[in-house]
Amino acid sequence: MIAFLKVINKVYAGPNRHNCSSNVTQTVDTTPQISSEWQTRIYPGCRDESDGGAECLGHMAFSSLEMTGEKGKGAGALHLDEETFRRACRRFVQHSHALNDGWSWEEVKGSDEGYMRKSVLSPGGSAPRPARDGGSGPGEDLDILGQREGQELEDEDEEQAGSDEERVVSETSSPIRYEYHVLYSCSYQAPVLYFRASTLDGRPLSLEDMWDNVHPNYRQRLLQGPWDTITQQEHPLIGQSFFVLHPCRTQDLMRPILAAASAENRSLNYIVSWLSSVGPVAALTVPLSYAHIGAAPDLQPTVVFSADRLILGVTGRVLDTIAAGYISEEDPSLQRMLVTDQKQIDNTPLSCD
């Protein structure tokens, strides 16, 4: 639990808060009034629809999900329609521009379709723990947080430190280019993650090579049945060879997240929740500040997965509060989220079978 809070601090300190990067964990003298303020913020009750306005993608996503429910078995009814997908991507890309996080929207020539794309250059043969440091992709975390902070985290988390150091030592090979594409699958009515990695001279990395950069929690799952989860497939829009995280269980993955958001009247950006949840399988992480997307200014929280599979139901303000150490791990709301998350860890359907 404590490690969890530390990770948040680091991560959130990342993008635009260099100054407060190291002052976080020690300030645990919880100030009750802020905590209760937070309570009211996170449970604003039944909010007026107008509150979210165009920002509130989650509500749109959810109403369309309900619409596609049809009669059949209610359990399988959580679809993302293409228009909502595009809107969610647009907001995601906007936020990425603000963060300089590298995502863009690519139109396909001669059609009205497109996809979200990011390319990351990793300095070494393998990137140091991209999943934990809150950088948005392999290699970038160092640029954002600075080497010093990476070191610090290693010291704090002995469990990880050993293996990671070993990897750092062996990192002498050439830079690696990672490429991530997010496409819409009309068959599954869900987003799909396509990815590949290559050396600068164009030699593609095997899936096994790429796994070196995947967070250990995920790596273990992948090893259990890699080809059930990830296959090499042709990119349906540009015809090249990519690895694909198969979308057939995406709805199962998203169901509890969407249900929780709906029950608590929280808005949510489908792409943020989904990508932050599945991205680590491909050594991609989504900085926590994406949690702001889809939220009306610091009021409506959204849900983000951290790389350690912890759901964070947070607003920007709450993130600030956590970063300042004002929320204790005993906070009932936080506890509840963590409980939800434990179930997630156990039940997250990554595999197709």
Residues that bind other proteins (rule: CB under 8 A) add up to a total of 29
Minimum CB separation of residue 70 from other proteins in Å reads 9
What is the rounded distance in angstroms from the CA atom of residue 125 to the CA atom of residue 171?
5
Which residue reads 């007026």 in tokens? Answer: 48
Beta bridge partners of 105: 116
Minimum CB separation of residue 89 from other proteins in Å reads 19
Which one among 45, 53, 74, 110 touches other proteins, defined by CB under 8 A? 110
Is residue 289 within 8 A of residue 17, CB to CB? The reply is no
DSSP 3-state of 68: coil
Comparing CB distances to other proteins, the nearer of 105 and 188 is 188
- Based on the shown chain and the rule CB under 8 A, indicate whether residue 188 belongs to the binding site for other proteins: yes
Which region, judged by CB under 8 A, interacts with other proteins, from 99-107, 140-148, 156-164, 181-189?
181-189
Is residue 169 within 8 A of residue 162, CB to CB? The reply is no
Which region, judged by CB under 8 A, interacts with other proteins, from 103-111, 169-177, 255-263, 297-305?
103-111
Which one among 63, 234, 335, 342 touches other proteins, defined by CB under 8 A? 234
What is the rounded distance in angstroms from the CA atom of residue 13 to the CA atom of residue 22?
8
Please give the biggest Cα pair distance in the chain: 59
- Based on the shown chain and the rule CB under 8 A, indicate whether residue 345 belongs to the binding site for other proteins: no
Minimum CB separation of residue 348 from other proteins in Å reads 18
Minimum CB separation of residue 123 from other proteins in Å reads 23
- Based on the shown chain and the rule CB under 8 A, indicate whether residue 238 belongs to the binding site for other proteins: yes
What is the rounded distance in angstroms from the CA atom of residue 353 to the CA atom of residue 338?
27
Q: Which of 20, 46, 56, 248 is catalytic?
A: 248
Which one among 72, 74, 155, 330 touches other proteins, defined by CB under 8 A? 72
Parallel, antiparallel or unpaired: strands 104-107 and 241-245: unpaired
Minimum CB separation of residue 279 from other proteins in Å reads 21
| Residue 40, burial from CB neighbour count under 10 angstroms (0-12, 13-18, 19+) | exposed
- Identify residues 246-265 at the interface with other proteins (CB under 8 A): 246, 248
What is the rounded distance in angstroms from the CA atom of residue 275 to the CA atom of residue 135?
14
Which among 342, 349, 346 has a CA at the least distance from the CA of 250?
349
The letter for the amino acid at 46 is: C
- Based on the shown chain and the rule CB under 8 A, indicate whether residue 223 belongs to the binding site for other proteins: no
Residue 248 designated active-site: yes
Is residue 210 within 8 A of residue 282, CB to CB? The reply is yes
Which region, judged by CB under 8 A, interacts with other proteins, from 151-159, 184-192, 282-290, 316-324?
184-192
Which residues contribute to the site for other proteins (CB under 8 A)? 72-73, 76, 108-111, 186-188, 202-204, 227-228, 231-234, 236-241, 246, 248, 352-353
Active site residues: 248
